Structure 1
Amino acid sequence: MKTTPEHDAKIARLTFASVYPHYVTKVEKKGRTKEELHQIITWLTGFDEKQIQKMIEEKVTFDIFFEKATLNPNAELITGVICGYRIEEIETPLTRQIRYLDKVVDELAKGKKIEKIMRE
């Protein structure tokens, strides 16, 4: 499924800080913890706790967030549908990376085991 250039630009301009509280709420509402959320963010991006906090404080956009990230090689194993898009068919690399993050947060909230989320 193709995303539009407008869609790609819109989500690239979103700040990680604006979306992060929604991730926290989503996982905590389902009985998961902020620590588990950080664990999967760290797995996907390579950011440690301090770097995650810095990204929030600096209100970096997703394009900068993923530019600074070291994406886990197993991220390509993340498949499925999120927000109406089949992840593996998204052509724009940044949009695909943002949807990887959305998908692993979704999997965490749905109760999937951390090891499965990390594609181990």
Structure 2
Amino acid sequence: MKKPRIYTINFATVYPLYVQKVEKKGRTEAELLQIIEWLTGYDQSALIQQMERQVDMETLIDEAPSFNANSALITGVICGKRVEEIEDSMTQNIRYLDKVVDELAKGKKLEKIMREA
């Protein structure tokens, strides 16, 4: 069975787009790194290593040091679908990452993005 396209996208090509998106809205790359670390457990050096390895989105999520259990508290629409209703866990986790980047770009406070139970 063919993998969904979202799985095969190279993270090293996506990350600069995330940076561009948040900086265009007045946020910083440091804030972006903070929410990525909260969600995935990757610190900056580990994230750079993943980009140097040219990993795809599936591998990035699969190898995440500690995908945050509170990610289930992320709700809303991304790419026309409610993230909380996505049935495939890998797709859902990738979309959680997209969603928190969107929230950062829209000016949401870090404390609200990095949900706690």
Shift of 1:55: 1.0
Question: Counterpart in 1 of 2:98?
Answer: 102
AA in 2 matched with 1:10: R
Q: Which ranges in structure 1 are unaligned for 5 or more consecutive residues?
A: none
Aligned pairs (5 A) from 1:27-38: 27-38=22-33
Shift of 1:115: 0.5
Shift of 1:51: 0.5
* Number of equivalences: 115
Question: Counterpart in 2 of 1:92?
Answer: 88
Which of 103, 108, 113 is 1:112 aligned to?
A: 108
Shift of 1:63: 1.0
Output the TM-score relative to the length of structure 1: 0.92
What secondary structure, in the 3-state scheme, does the structure 1 residue paired with 2:95 have? helix
Shift of 1:57: 1.1
Aligned CA-pair RMSD: 1.2
Output the TM-score relative to the length of structure 2: 0.94
1:64 maps to 2:64: no
Q: CA–CA distance in 1 between the matches of 2:96 and 2:4?
A: 17
AA in 2 matched with 1:86: R
Q: CA–CA distance in 1 between the matches of 2:80 and 2:52?
A: 30
Question: Counterpart in 1 of 2:11?
Answer: 16
Percent of residue pairs identical: 58
Shift of 1:49: 0.9
Q: CA–CA distance in 1 between the matches of 2:52 and 2:111?
A: 29
Deviations 1:49-97 (A, max 9, x none): 1101111111101111011112101000001100111101101111000
What secondary structure, in the 3-state scheme, does the structure 2 residue paired with 1:91 have? coil
Question: Counterpart in 2 of 1:78?
Answer: 74
Q: CA–CA distance in 2 between the matches of 1:13 and 1:116?
A: 30
